[in-house]
Each structure stands twice: as C-alpha cells, then as structure tokens.
C-alpha cells in the first residue's frame, strides 16, 4: 500500500511540474510574440485614409468655414478618396481652392500616396491648374486660415499630370507663404521642378516624400530621390506668413499639418499612408 501511495504522489507531482513548465514556456512565448509585434508595429505604415470615410480629416474650402465640406467636394466612394466638382455647386470654379487637413500634425515622417487624375477640369478653373493638385506639408492649422485664404502657408509637394504629348514633371516643389534652402541657397521663387517621369492619362501613380523636421525633405519616385531641400521656413514677405512667424516666435518650420488639395481638376487618392520616423 505504501509503495502504491508513493507512486501516486510522484505521478501527481510530475503532472504539477509539467503544468508549471508549460505555463512558464507559454508566458515566455507570449512575451516574445508581444515584443515581435511591438517591433513590427514600430515600422508599420499608418493609414491616414481608412478607405471608408473622411474620419480624421478636416476640410477648409475658400470662402467657407473650417469643417464645411462645400458641395461634398471631398468624398469617399468605391473605397477611394475623391475630389469632385458637381455642377450644381460648381457651375464655375470661382477660385474656391480647398484643402483637406489630417487632424494630427507631424514632424519626422515618410508619406506615401497613390493617386490619379480623372475626367475634365471644372469650368472656370485656371489654366495652370489642369491636372494639378498637391500634398501640403509643414502646413498651418486650418483654424488659422482666413475665410477667403486660398492656400495654407506650407510646403507643397506638387502633383501634376501630363497632357498626353508633352513632358510635365510631377513631385515638384511649390512654396505658398514659405521658402526653403535649395542647393545651399535660400530659394524664394514659387516653384521648382523635380526630375520625375511624366504620367499621362488616368494611370495610378505612387510617390513618396521623406520629411525630417527643419532638416532635409526628399521627394521620392520609384525609390529614387528626385528633389531635395532643407530648412523649410515661413516667408516674412507674405503678411499672413509673417503673422504666423511672430506667433510661433520665428520663421523656421519643424513640422505641421498635412493636407490634400482641391484645385479644380478631379483627382482620386487610393492610399494615403504615413510612417513615423525617429527624430
């Protein structure tokens, strides 16, 4: 009887030990898996456009209040973020330039978009705005814009489409209310062209931009840097930009809003995603 009892005790003890070891190894596996997920998440792309609605985005259209999406200019249909100009609201464009701001400002990041120009320009749109839009970087808050202000003070990553025959680069630089240091010198002209390819028709185009605060900004096409500049700053020749500079205590821009333009030509965005970079 004693022999049987001892064997039973040893058997029970073995089961308990095995259970404890299994629990320990399981916890270790969970910890390892959690760490791996955390590591993976650190390099993940954040989807600024969720493919369903405009959650997280704020419209500001010229002559209209912040938050008013006049004429349903910015909309989501078929999983695409679309910019449209319905005739009932836009019989003429009337210089109603608009911007769709993401709610959160950023400083150090990589931004990637997939876009295409479609259809015909809204009647009354300026000639330079045919197949023209942009990504506004280091921008001011929509709340600081005047009701009749056309563009936010920002660094514009200009998006252009070809006319079917002539060369026309995209991923260019424009500077509404701002300046940058380009090729070692302060660049004060409004725009500067990249070395990108020309994209004709309604094809999808993928472009990226890498932003390092007040340091370097790189325009990227197919993994290649096609334009590079630094020291983004407000232009004190512009009264509104000068006011913003006085408010923030200096000209230099280290971060700001990201916004998408409505400049009179319909455009679709299939993806707008961002990867936060270490400082």
Res 279: pLDDT: 80
- Both 10 and 111 in a single domain? no
Q: Report the CATH number that the domain containing residue 269 is assigned in CATH.
A: 2.60.120.560
- Both 139 and 265 in a single domain? yes
- Both 210 and 239 in a single domain? yes
CA 261 to chain centre: 11
| pLDDT tens column, 32-87 | 333 333 333 446 899 999 999 999 999 999 999 999 999 999 999 999 999 999 99
- Both 70 and 187 in a single domain? yes
**3-class DSSP state for residue 90?**
coil
Query: For the chain, what is the domain count?
Result: 2
- Both 149 and 231 in a single domain? yes
Q: What is the share, in percent, of the chain residues with pLDDT greater than 70?
A: 85
pTM of the model: 0.84
Neighbouring-strand partners of residue 228: 218
Q: Which domain holds residue 79?
A: 46-276
Across the chain, the runs of DSSP E, i.e. the strands, are: 46-47, 57-61, 74-77, 80-83, 98-102, 108-117, 132-139, 155-160, 172-174, 178-182, 185-187, 191-192, 205-212, 217-221, 224-234, 257-262, 267-276
- Both 10 and 132 in a single domain? no
């Amino acid at each position: 009887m004693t022999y049987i009892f001892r064997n039973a005790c040893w058997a029970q003890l073995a089961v308990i030990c095995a259970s404890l070891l299994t629990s320990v190894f399981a916890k270790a596996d969970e910890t390892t898996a959690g760490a791996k997920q955390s590591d993976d998440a650190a390099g993940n792309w954040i989807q600024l456009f969720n493919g369903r609605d405009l959650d997280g985005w704020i419209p500001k259209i010229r002559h209209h209040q912040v938050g008013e999406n006049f004429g349903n200019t910015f909309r989501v249909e078929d999983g695409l973020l679309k910019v449209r100009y319905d005739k009932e609201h836009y019989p003429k464009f009337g210089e109603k330039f608009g911007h769709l701001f993401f709610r959160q400002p950023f400083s150090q990041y990589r931004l990637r978009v997939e876009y295409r120009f479609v259809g015909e320009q809204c009647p009354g749109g300026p000639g330079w705005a045919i197949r023209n839009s942009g990504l506004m970087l280091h921008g001011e808050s929509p709340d600081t814009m005047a009701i009749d202000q056309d563009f936010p003070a920002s660094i514009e990553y200009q998006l252009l489409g070809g006319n079917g025959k002539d060369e026309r680069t995209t991923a260019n630089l424009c500077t509404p209310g701002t300046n940058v240091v380009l090729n070692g010198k302060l660049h004060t002209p409004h725009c500067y062209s990249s070395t990108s390819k020309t994209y004709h028709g309604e094809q999808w185009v993928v472009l990226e931009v890498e932003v390092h605060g007040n340091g370097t900004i790189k325009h990227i096409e197919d993994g290649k840097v096609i334009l590079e500049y630094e020291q983004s700053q407000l232009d004190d020749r512009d009264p509104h930009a000068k006011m913003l500079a006085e408010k923030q205590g200096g000209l230099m821009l280290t971060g700001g809003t990201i916004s998408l333009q409505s400049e009179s030509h319909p455009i679709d965005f299939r993806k707008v995603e961002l990867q936060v970079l270490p400082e």
